[in-house]
Amino acid sequence: MHFRRFIFFIFLVLNLYCPCQAQSSSIEIDDRLSVRLSSPFSIALETLQGLIEYNFTDIGLLRRAMTHSSYSEENNRALSILGESVIETWVSLRQLTKDIDVSPQDLNTLISEVSEVETSCAVDGMKLKLQNIVRVSPKTDPSTPSVVCGAFRAMFGAIAVDTGKADVGGSKFGSVHEKFGRARAV
Ligand SMILES: *[C@@H]1O[C@H](CO)[C@@H](O)[C@H](O)[C@H]1NC(C)=O
């Protein structure tokens, strides 16, 4: 029993004086420094913000949106799920505002058109040249439609999180889709 208490005490002391905290904050500082030192990735993020006409309060969100799961555990997968639903909500809202009598079939068609990976999502993402920005592992091709589409959706998920408002992400999708997307009314 005494021995166990001793081990517990040692454990407690190690936890209190573990340099982990210091390490993680120095990583944070390095991260900020690299932004200031303008790595090609952070320059690309700046350019992207200009293209979409949105400046992130937390640039870390855009950084994460432009990170594929093959590259890091801190990646865009969850943001891209939010992005997809933000986009679909925006399409539904816009269509119902225009025409409250839209048939459910027509609405579903519009939603599936805009959610289509190869013909809509990846096309929009390619026009923003996300394939040149998104971070992937050396074995992954960043031009793969699913990679470009994931980053594209994650960007709007990231805007929603940055503002705490899904509709800001949605309407930003609307303006980007109109500006860079295919010349087609959605
Ligand atoms: C974003 O920041 C840049 C540089 O500070 C500024 O020129 C630009 O107008 C800002 N864009 C928006 C949409 O606020």
Q: Which fold has domain 39-180?
A: Ribonuclease iii, N-terminal Endonuclease Domain; Chain A (1.10.1520)
Cα 27 → chain centroid: 21
Q: Where do runs of H (alpha helix) occur along the chain?
A: 2-17, 20-36, 40-52, 59-65, 77-98, 104-115, 122-127, 145-163, 166-180
> Which residues form ligand 1's pocket by a CB distance below 6 Å?
53-55
Q: Tens place of pLDDT for every residue, the chain, 186 residues?
A: 465 665 555 554 445 444 444 444 445 555 555 545 689 999 999 999 999 999 999 999 999 999 999 999 999 999 999 999 999 999 999 999 999 999 999 999 999 999 899 889 999 999 999 999 999 999 999 999 999 999 999 999 999 999 999 999 999 999 999 887 654 444
Mutation test residue for ligand 1: of 47, 55, 159, the one with most atoms within 8 Å of CB: 55
Residue 61, token pair as written in the block: 């969100």
CA 50 / ligand 1 centre spacing (Å): 7
The domain limits of the chain are 1-37, 39-180
Bridge partners, 67 (sequence order): 135
CA 51 / ligand 1 centre spacing (Å): 10
Nearest to 64 by CA among 74, 49, 55, 51: 74
CA 47 / ligand 1 centre spacing (Å): 11
Measured over all CA atoms, what is the biggest interatomic distance in the chain, rounded to whole angstroms? 76
* Pairwise CA distance, residues 88 & 71, whole Å: 27
Instruction: Decide: 56 and 162 in contact? Cβ < 8 Å.
Output: yes
CA 52 / ligand 1 centre spacing (Å): 11
